[in-house]
Amino acid sequence: MFAIIVTGHGEFARGILQSAEMIFGKAPKVAAVTLAADESVEDLVNHYQATIQALQPGSELLFLVDLWGGAPFNAARQLAMQAPEKYGVIAGVNLAMLIEALTIRTQPLAVAIPHLERAAQGGIRHFDPMTATK
């Protein structure tokens, strides 16, 4: 089972994880890591390392981050580059992706990551009231 670190700017990670837990329930080896406005990428790397140590992830760890290219992504990318066989990073986390990640954690990251990308995209839909039936 892979561990999950959800992260983003401000309190985003705590909020989305709390929402997922309302739907899915509390899951082991899952943590939210936040980034304060006065913190740097280096601070975030330190937060990640402390969280990884606390989670004791076992074989694999997935970072679900809010934005491609932001500080949470860049810090996760640094760690993933050091252990590419153990760590994965997906940017653009949304609630559909996080819930799906919680349901497929027994899969290897090589299988889970493409599946999660599809799940996140599938969670984006447009409701058109002009064509909807009553």
List the chain domain ranges: 3-122
Q: What is the pLDDT of residue 42?
A: 95
Q: Which residue intervals of 37-133 are DSSP H helices?
A: 41-55, 71-82, 95-103, 109-122
Longest Cα separation, the chain: 54
To the query of whether residue 47 is one of the catalytic residues in this protein, the response is no
From the list 9, 47, 115, 126, the catalytic residue is 9
Q: What is the pLDDT of residue 27?
A: 93
Q: What is the pLDDT of residue 67?
A: 95
Q: State the distance between the two ends of the chain, measured CA to CA, in whole angstroms.
A: 44
Q: Which strands sit side by side in the sheet containing 30-35, from one edge to the other? A: 30-35, 3-9, 61-65, 87-91
Q: What is the pLDDT of residue 114?
A: 94
What residues of the chain score a pLDDT lower than 70?
A: none
What CATH number should be reported for the domain whose range is 3-122?
3.40.50.510
Q: What is the pLDDT of residue 9?
A: 96
Mean confidence (pLDDT) of the chain:
93
